[in-house]
Amino acid sequence: MIDIEFSTIAFTIINLIVLFLLLKKFLIGPINDVIKKREDMIAGTISDANNQKAEAMKLKSQYEDTLAGVDAECRDLREKSRVEAQNEYSRIIDQADAKSVKMIKDAEKTIEIKQNKALSDMQSQIAELAMAAAGKIVGGEGDAESAGAAMYDEFLNEVGDSGDTEGN
């Protein structure tokens, strides 16, 4: 059978323990240190990523609030511009109406003045013609002037009365 000696087993066990301690000291220890460093680095990276994500969410919220404020301001500006445009439109229309009313009144006054002048000129011409006709009718009589003047006055009264009824 196999001849196993206690000293060989003891020596093998001691060699295994020394080998284990040496491997633990020089191989497993540095490997565990590298693994720990990597775990710390990964945990730090995850923590930084979470912080950046939280910061990004905060910035997103601020941008959304700012965007909502800008949107509201745009609506207000559009409404204000619309109201100002409507007011300007109304002012221009009122101003044009006032100008047209003034122009119509000025034209009516001008027409009235020209009409009165034309009527006056016609009365003068008719009076001259009436005087000339009266002078021819009366001929050369002595009180032709007084008769002509009376006829003239009567004619003017008749023309004036008929002119007043036509004008009114």
Q: What is the mean pLDDT of residues 98-127?
A: 91
Q: Please state the separation of Cα 58 from the chain's center in Å.
A: 34
3-state per-residue secondary structure call for 39-62: HHHHHHHHHHHHHHHHHHHHHHHH
Q: Is the pLDDT of residue 6 over 80?
A: yes
Residue 119 · residue 163 · CB < 8 Å: yes
Residue spans of the domains in the chain: they are: 6-167
Looking at per-residue confidence, does 136 or 63 come out higher? 63
The rounded mean pLDDT for the chain is 85
CA distance 75 to 83: 12
For residue 95, the model assigns a pLDDT of 93
**If pLDDT is split at 50, 70 and 90, which confidence band does 143 have?**
low
Q: How much is the pLDDT for 144?
A: 52
DSSP for 68-93 reads HHHHHHHHHHHHHHHHHHHHHHHHHH
- pLDDT higher than threshold 80 for residue 97: yes
Percent of residues, the chain, with pLDDT higher than 90: 58
Asked whether the predicted pLDDT for residue 87 surpasses 70, the reply is yes
- Of residues 103 and 155, the one with the higher pLDDT is 103
Query: What's the pLDDT at 142?
Result: 47
- Say if CB 134 and CB 147 are below 8 A apart: yes
Give the residue from 108, 85, 88 showing the smallest Cα distance to 96: 88
CA dist 152 and 160 (Å) reads: 12
Res 19 pLDDT > 50? yes
Query: What is the pTM assigned to this prediction?
Result: 0.41
Q: Which pLDDT tens digit goes with each residue over 23-61?
A: 888 888 889 999 999 999 999 999 999 999 999 999 999
Distance CA 7, CA 130 (A): 177
At 22 the three-state DSSP class reads helix
Place of tokens 């006032």: 98
pLDDT tens for 114-133 read 999 998 888 888 888 877 77
